[in-house]
Structure 1
Amino acid sequence: MADRVARRNDPERRQRIVDATLDVVAEHGVPGTTHRRIAAAAGVPLGSVTYYFASLEELLTAAFLQLAEQSSAAFGARMAEAIDRASARAAIIDIIAGSVWAEPRTLLLSYELYAFAARHPPVSRVMQRWMNNSRAALERFFDPLTARALDALVEGIGIHNSIDTEPLDREAIRQIVERVAPK
């Protein structure tokens, strides 16, 4: 029997591919994301990408699902610290003004996610799940309609602040949150 070359076990390969996909999307946008770029960014052979994911859409869906879950978990964790309506408002302000949502890479990837979701139903389901998770965290302290408005406010102010020449500061964000969800 001929000696076989032992295959290197790489249990993290699939995850590296998913992580690399988000890096490539952040750098090139969804239209510029290719199997080759992902493979190069992940440091894996091109065939590995297609081994784990049957299509680029399937891979982008997995990557965007990961982004949504991570962002949703960070949002939920900050909201879980709230013990009453006042501390929930403070949490929302932190989410908008801090690093939970306002981190430039997360915002950029979110733009790409929204655009991709508009044309790909499996990803729009990812977005719906993300919104449902955010709203559920907010509904611990606010009625469903207010929770929906606050959810939109979190994303909207973050998006506007990322491109506005005069972004809202923390105090302005606090005032807006208190207008939407008064004491």
Structure 2
Amino acid sequence: MAAEAKLPAHAKPRRRHDPDRRSNISDAALDVIAEHGVAGTTHRKIAEAAGVPLGSLTYHFATLDDILAEAFTKLANQTADGFEAAMAQVGNQAQARAAVVRLITGELLNDPRTMVLSYELYALAVRRPELRRITDAWMARSRAAIGRFFDPDTTLMLDALIEGLSMHRALSLAPMPRSTVEAAVERIVNIPCP
């Protein structure tokens, strides 16, 4: 009987059937986008990051745009899941206002990787309107989570405030203090409806 070739201890054997390969590829795409931006993202870099043969990408995705769309959908869903989880712990409007402040100032939206990926998605969606379905679905889920406690106009304003203040806090050399964020949320919530 011939001796079987042994793989080095650090090498992972490649499986012919990997039911998670498509998901792993989109995860790797997010890693590549976070490091190189959309402009620097290639099939080759994604395949290398995913640890799969280059041909595996074209087997699972027709184009690089398809990979980007799935990766950004995953990002949007993860962030929307975070919104829903934050608002699910809320029992009244006062707690909802505090939860909105935590969304603006907390880790979910202020994680550097999430911020970079979000801005890459925004820029790509501006250039490729077909990808706005991803941002639109993301906003719809965020608004649904917030809207359990506020009227539709206030919900729309709070959702825009969350995005805007998160961006300002991320990009400013002197980040806005939490007290200013709290005041902004209070002002929007207390605006009299016409």
Tell me which interval the TM-score lies in, with the shorter structure as reference length. Answer: over 0.9
* Aligned twin of 1:37: 45
Q: Which amino acid aligns with 1:96?
A: I
2:36 to 22, 28, 44: 28
Q: 1:93 to 1:114 in 2, by over 3 A?
A: same
Q: Are 1:180 and 2:188 matched, yes or no? A: yes
Shift of 1:151: 0.5
1:89 correspondence with 2:97: yes
Amino acid at match of 1:153: L
Cα distance between partner residues in 2 of 1:182 and 1:166: 27
Q: Deviations over 1:86-123 (max 9, x none)?
A: 00001101111101211111111110001111122331
Q: 1:127-163 deviations in whole A, cap 9, x for unaligned? A: 1011111111111111111111111111111111111
Quickly say closer, same or farther: Cα 1:152–1:62, change in 2 above 3 A: same
Find the aligned partners of 1:92 and 1:144 in 2 and give their Cα distance: 15
2:171 pairs with one of 157, 163, 182: 163
Tell me which structure has the larger Cα radius of gyration: 2
Correspondence for 2:70: 62
| 1:109 aligned residue | 117
- SS where residue 65 of structure 1 aligns? helix
Percent identity, please.
Answer: 52
Q: Which amino acid aligns with 1:17?
A: I
| Residue equivalent to 2:25 | 17
**CA drift at 1:7:** 5.6
Residues 69-89 of structure 1: CA deviation (Å, up to 9, x unaligned): 010010111011111110000
Distance between the aligned counterparts of 1:136 and 1:10, measured in 2? 35
Q: CA RMSD in A?
A: 1.5
Taking structure 2 as the reference length, what is the TM-score of the superposition? 0.88
| 4+ runs deviating over 4 angstroms | none
Aligned residues between the structures:
178
Given the superposition, is the C-alpha separation of residues 7 and 40 from structure 1 closer, same or farther in structure 2, using an over 3 Å criterion?
closer
Q: Which runs of 5 or more residues in structure 1 are unaligned? A: 1-5
